[in-house]
Amino acid sequence: MIITIDGPAGSGKSTVAQLVAEKLGYKHLNSGSLYRAITAYFIENDIYDTNNSKFNKKIDNLSIKIEFINNVQHVFVNNVDYTSKLRDLKVSELSPYFSVNKKIRTIVDNCQKIFASKNNIVIDGRDIGSFVFPNADYKFYLDCSIDERARRRLIELKDKNKSVLFENIKKMISARDEFDKNKKEAPLIVPKNSIIIDSTNLNVNEVVNNMLNYLQV
């Protein structure tokens, strides 16, 4: 069984995917973390963009593997576990650029397909129901207004004692949306035949229950 959840950055798809997976006893696969692990690997090898010969040498021999350890997804690149580096600032900054590389996308797609062939999964990302698993059993698109995403992000940052202006966060989110929707490789779109849920006025449990209501598993 494959359940896909796509949507813009900050729409809450990963949190929701984790909870839906827990309810069903499925594995939650976060596709962004695969791109992040590969980015972390390149940063560790002093490679910061995909236009250099060092990148080309490494990419052709790169292997990626997903393992669940104590129910937590770990990502290995060339047999090294990059899980603890996935949220590093540099990784967040550079992963959008590495993730548009065609070779990287093929590696990630294959890894996701192999994993899905052996497990029941709830997988979230930006191109999952549209490009990776167009024939998934259930496909969701989780939307949310920019204002609400900015409000949620602001609360998160305040919890971390960081002060940023609401308007600046909104600008960052808009720029991110534009990048994701207009990129050449696998742009963010609403997948064909997907169930659209707008989480702007819903809390996490409401979104999860909404999804579970659609699922006959």
Distances in Å between the Cα of 14 and the Cα atoms of 6, 41, 62, 125, 204 are 9, 22, 26, 8, 11
CB nearer to ligand DC: pick between 6 and 197: 6
What residues from 47 to 76 belong to the interface with ligand DC (CB under 6 A)?
Answer: none
CB 97 within 8 A of CB 49: yes
Residue 115 CA to residue 48 CA, distance in Å, equals 28
Task: Choose the binding region for ligand DC from 60-68, 93-101, 153-161, 209-217 (rule: CB under 6 A).
Answer: 93-101
Query: Strand order in 64-69's β-sheet?
Result: 64-69, 72-77, 80-81
CB nearer to ligand DC: pick between 33 and 208: 33
CB 23 within 8 A of CB 208: yes
What residues from 116 to 155 belong to the interface with ligand DC (CB under 6 A)?
Answer: 125-128
Write the interaction track for ligand DC spanning residues 163-202; mark x where CB under 6 A is met and - where it is not.
----------------------------------------
CB nearer to ligand DC: pick between 95 and 194: 95
Which residues of this protein are in contact with ligand DC, per CB under 6 A? 9, 31-32, 35-36, 95-96, 99, 125-128
